[in-house]
Structures are given as structure tokens and as C-alpha cells.
């Protein structure tokens, strides 16, 4: 499944629908479709309506052209929205493969999960997030879907990557002390220090496993969602709370198109995942509405001089206080450019978070059985290293540093097999074989 030739697949589910989707990815994606589209510019990143003509077929099409590397796979990607007949999609796919082959263009039908595999292969996302995409596809309930969406955002990777780095540093101290294991007067890192570092790492592994099983975890960050009408100043407040320009701010409504998630420290004891959303949307499946469903706390942001009523249970935040003398009946009126206002907002949100109950899915990471097994193996290995250290006096070097190092390498290997840092071919086959074709 190594990337090379361009691939094509039906990427919409079977069944009756107004439209169906064909997706093409690879260096020759635009060459495949250029001769058959009436209105298509391969040089521009855009969507176009037109006609697709191939053999005896002439059908309406909406074309999305996404040149690499700014695409999901990082390759050139072309998506064709056609009338939603599965037979038509299969027919067009077969004709495009035949047409490309006659012109000497390498094109074949994609295998299971191959689009996501290419995203992983090119460094677009780590392996655990690739598996989370499969979990999103396979979700059977709202709770499973939300858990998988959190995992797809990188929750597991964010936990395990720094943990692996910490264990690697500890391994470095252990291996540095091997040459001095017989010299009592040279201590690179004492048994007590090494044990303390590994016990902290073991606790973090346990917390990751508990969170994946649905148990409450003390370090799960609550999600604070900024909602409100378009151009209400949500993104400006988002940046101000973060203390850096994370999202683009513009006077024109609709600048923010998707939900943006960032960790944010509100006080010495309260950190949250801050979620910026597009302007209030009516669709149930709009990014802003989905973000609110997943949130633990909603901040309703509306301009002071054009106040709109907030949803039940939300904290009401008036924005653009400096631009009007109007003061609506809300929890706090703010100017995002004045530090005292932002400090007051952070304190208000921190207080609300301390008293709010977290959503039941917020502590779940939706581990696959493969990830669960590797996490258990990592926990077993690090505990074995701790048990080896327990044999020795706490102030000296380990007397069995080579054995401790072996256990720590096994721990790092198991974590790396989850995140994709270590990816034997047989592991990749297991992961991507569970995907649908076209994903």
C-alpha cells in the first residue's frame, strides 16, 4: 500500500442520496479528470459546477480541486460530486480508470483505508488519530461517535507523546550509568530518582487506560465552547484568552468556518479545551452545533449593542463593549483588547468550570483493542523496570541497568506502536484493514 500510483474510490456510503462522491488522490489526480470536465482549472484550489463527459455518459458534476500539500493526503486531490446512484458512481470510476490507463496515467481503485494511510504516511496525522477515524466511521451510538471524534482530535496522542519523551529521557540516564554500575562513588541518576520518574510515568499510563475505559480522570480537560452569531467577536475573545493569535479575525462574517480546539490555561488550577465555532448555524450537523453538543460549558457571545438571547444554561458574554454604551443583561460585558476584561472573563469561566459536571464522554478516548493491548503491555514493562529498581539501595546506581533498559525500551516500543512512531508492516495491515474503501 506504499503511495505511488494515483488512487480512486467511491467515498460516499451506499444507499439512496441526492449526490455521491468519487475521490481521487495522487500526483496525476488532475490529469485523470481534465479531458472529461467542461469547467475545470487544475491550477486553482476551488469548486466548480459543470458536466462530466466520458464515453456515452454526460452527467452534471460539482468538482472540488485540492492541490497538495494542502489536502488530507498531502497529495493532489480531486473530488467529484455526481448524482447519487451507486451504479453510476461505479460506472464512472471504471471509465476513468480505463481512460487513464489508455493515456499512460497510473490509476487504480483504492484499498481499505488507503486515503487515511496516505495521510499518515506523509505525516499529516499520527497512527492513533488514523485509527480514531475508523472509529468515527464504525460508531453505533452518539456516545461512541463523540468519543471517537475526541480521539480523532489527537487526545490519545497528546497524552502519550510527552509520556514517551519522559521515559526516553529516563532511559538515557539508565544507559549512561551502565559504565559506572560497579563504581559506588559515581552516580549518574540514583535508584530513588529513577523510581520516582518511572512511577509518575506508570501513573500516567494508568490514567490513560482508565480514561479509555470510561472511568473519571482528574486531568481530563473540560470543553468550553464559544457560540454566538456571526461576527460577534468570538474569535477575538478566543485569541485573547489564549494569549496569542490562533485564529484569523476579520470584520467580514463567516471568517471562521470550522470548530477550532486549543488547550487554554485560565488560572493556576483550571485548564480547559477552548473551542471557537463559526457563526450560529441552523443545521443540526453544523460545526457549531456539534461542538455545543460535545461541550461542558457554553459561552454565548453577542455584541452589546445587538444582543441576541442565549441558549439555556450558557454563560452570557457581551462583546465589543468599547463600541457602544449599551449594556445588556448578561453575565459579563467585555472588550477583547483590554486585559482587565479578559482577566475577568477567565476568572468567570474558571469558576463556572470548577462547579460544572463534565459530560460523560469527555473522559473517553475510544481505544481500539490493539491500542488497549499495547497500553497494557507498556504498563507491564514499566512496572517490571520499577520492580528491578526496588532490589537496589535508593542512593546508588541500579545494579541491573541493562535489564531496566530493556524494559524501558519495550515500554517506549509499545507506546510508539500506538502513536505510529514505530510501525511494523504487520501493524499497519491490522490498522488499515478495518477501514472502508474510499476513506
> Mean pLDDT across the stretch 277-303?
64
Q: Residue 291's pLDDT is what?
A: 52
Quick one: fold of 223-355? Rossmann fold (3.40.50)
> Which residues, at least 6 apart from 195, have a Cβ–Cβ distance to it below 8 Å?
386, 389, 390, 394
pLDDT of 122 over the 60 cut = yes
User: What are the Cα distances from residue 200, in Å, to 167, 375, 390, 392?
Assistant: 10, 15, 15, 19
Contact 337, 353 (CB under 8 A): no
Residue 231 backbone dihedrals phi, psi, to 5 degrees? 65, 30
* Domains in the chain: boundaries: 6-121, 155-216+364-419, 223-355
Q: Residue 428's pLDDT is what?
A: 55
Q: HEC string of 55-92?
A: CCEEEEEEEEEECCCCCCCCCCEEEEEEECCHHHHHHH
Contact 205, 382 (CB under 8 A): yes
C-alpha closest to that of 300 among 310, 290, 292, 291: 310
Task: Return the CATH superfamily for domain 155-216+364-419.
Answer: tRNA modification GTPase MnmE domain 2 (1.20.120.430)
C-alpha closest to that of 275 among 244, 234, 233: 234
Euclidean distance between CA atoms 278 and 57, whole angstroms: 39
pLDDT of 167 over the 50 cut = yes
Q: Residue 134's pLDDT is what?
A: 66
The three cell numbers of residue 261 are 480546539
Q: Residue 216's pLDDT is what?
A: 36
Q: Residue 204's pLDDT is what?
A: 85
Q: Residue 14's pLDDT is what?
A: 78
Residue 79 backbone dihedrals phi, psi, to 5 degrees? -115, 135
> Which residues, at least 6 apart from 254, have a Cβ–Cβ distance to it below 8 Å?
230, 231, 278, 279
C-alpha of 140 from chain center: 20
> Mean pLDDT across the stretch 149-169?
74
pLDDT of 322 over the 70 cut = yes
Q: What is the three-class DSSP state of 438? A: coil
pLDDT of 332 over the 80 cut = yes
The more confidently predicted of residues 128 and 87 is 87
Quick one: fold of 6-121? Gyrase A; domain 2 (3.30.1360)
CB burial of residue 216 (10 Å; 0-12, 13-18, 19+) = exposed
The more confidently predicted of residues 107 and 287 is 107
End-to-end CA gap in the chain: 14
Amino acid at each position: 500500500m506504499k503511495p505511488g500510483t494515483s488512487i480512486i474510490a467511491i467515498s460516499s456510503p451506499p444507499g439512496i442520496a441526492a449526490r455521491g462522491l468519487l475521490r481521487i488522490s495522487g500526483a496525476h489526480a488532475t490529469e485523470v479528470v481534465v479531458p472529461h470536465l467542461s469547467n475545470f482549472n487544475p491550477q486553482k484550489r476551488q469548486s466548480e459546477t459543470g458536466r462530466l463527459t466520458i464515453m456515452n455518459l454526460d452527467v452534471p458534476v460539482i468538482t472540488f480541486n485540492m492541490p497538495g500539500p494542502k489536502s488530507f493526503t498531502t497529495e493532489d486531490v480531486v473530488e467529484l460530486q455526481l448524482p447519487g446512484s451507486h451504479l453510476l458512481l461505479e460506472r464512472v470510476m471504471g471509465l476513468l480508470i480505463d481512460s487513464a490507463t489508455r493515456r499512460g496515467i497510473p490509476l487504480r481503485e483504492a484499498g481499505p483505508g488507503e486515503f487515511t494511510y496516505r495521510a499518515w504516511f506523509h505525516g499529516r496525522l499520527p497512527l492513533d488519530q488514523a485509527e480514531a477515524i475508523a472509529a468515527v466511521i464504525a460508531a453505533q451510538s452518539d456516545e461512541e461517535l463523540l468519543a471517537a471524534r475526541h480521539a480523532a482530535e489527537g487526545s490519545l496522542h497528546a497524552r502519550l507523546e510527552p509520556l514517551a519523551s519522559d521515559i526516553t529521557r529516563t532511559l538515557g540516564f539508565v544507559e549512561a550509568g551502565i559504565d559506572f554500575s560497579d563504581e559506588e562513588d559515581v552516580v549518574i541518576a540514583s535508584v530513588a530518582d529513577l523510581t520516582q520518574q518511572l512511577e509518575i510515568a506508570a501513573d500516567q499510563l494508568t490514567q490513560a487506560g482508565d480514561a479509555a475505559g470510561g472511568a473519571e480522570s482528574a486531568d481530563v480537560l473540560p470543553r468550553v465552547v464559544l457560540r454566538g452569531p456571526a461576527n460577534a467577536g468570538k474569535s477575538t475573545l478566543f485569541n485573547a484568552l489564549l494569549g496569542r493569535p490562533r485564529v484569523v479575525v476579520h470584520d467580514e462574517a463567516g471568517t471562521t468556518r470550522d470548530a477550532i480546539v486549543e488547550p487554554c490555561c485560565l488560572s493556576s488550577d483550571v485548564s480547559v479545551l477552548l473551542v471557537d465555532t463559526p457563526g450560529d448555524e441552523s443545521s443540526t450537523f453544523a460545526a457549531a452545533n456539534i461542538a455545543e453538543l460535545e461541550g461542558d460549558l457554553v459561552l454565548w457571545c453577542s455584541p452589546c449593542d445587538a444582543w441576541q438571547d442565549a441558549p439555556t444554561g450558557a454563560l452570557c458574554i457581551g462583546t465589543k463593549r468599547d463600541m457602544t454604551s449599551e449594556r445588556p443583561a448578561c453575565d459579563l460585558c467585555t472588550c477583547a483588547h483590554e486585559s482587565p476584561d479578559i482577566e475577568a472573563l477567565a476568572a468567570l469561566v474558571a469558576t463556572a468550570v470548577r462547579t460544572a459536571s463534565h459530560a460523560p464522554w469527555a473522559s473517553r478516548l475510544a481505544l481500539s483493542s490493539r491500542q488497549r493491548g499495547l497500553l497494557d503491555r507498556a504498563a507491564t514493562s514499566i512496572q517490571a523496570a520499577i520492580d528491578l529498581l526496588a532490589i537496589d539501595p535508593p542512593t546508588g546506581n541500579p545494579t541491573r541497568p541493562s535489564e531496566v533498559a530493556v524494559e524501558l525500551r519495550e515500554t517506549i516500543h509499545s507506546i510508539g506502536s500506538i502513536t505510529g512512531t514505530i510501525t511494523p508492516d504487520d501493524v499497519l495491515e491490522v490498522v488499515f484493514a478495518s477501514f472502508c474503501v474510499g476513506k
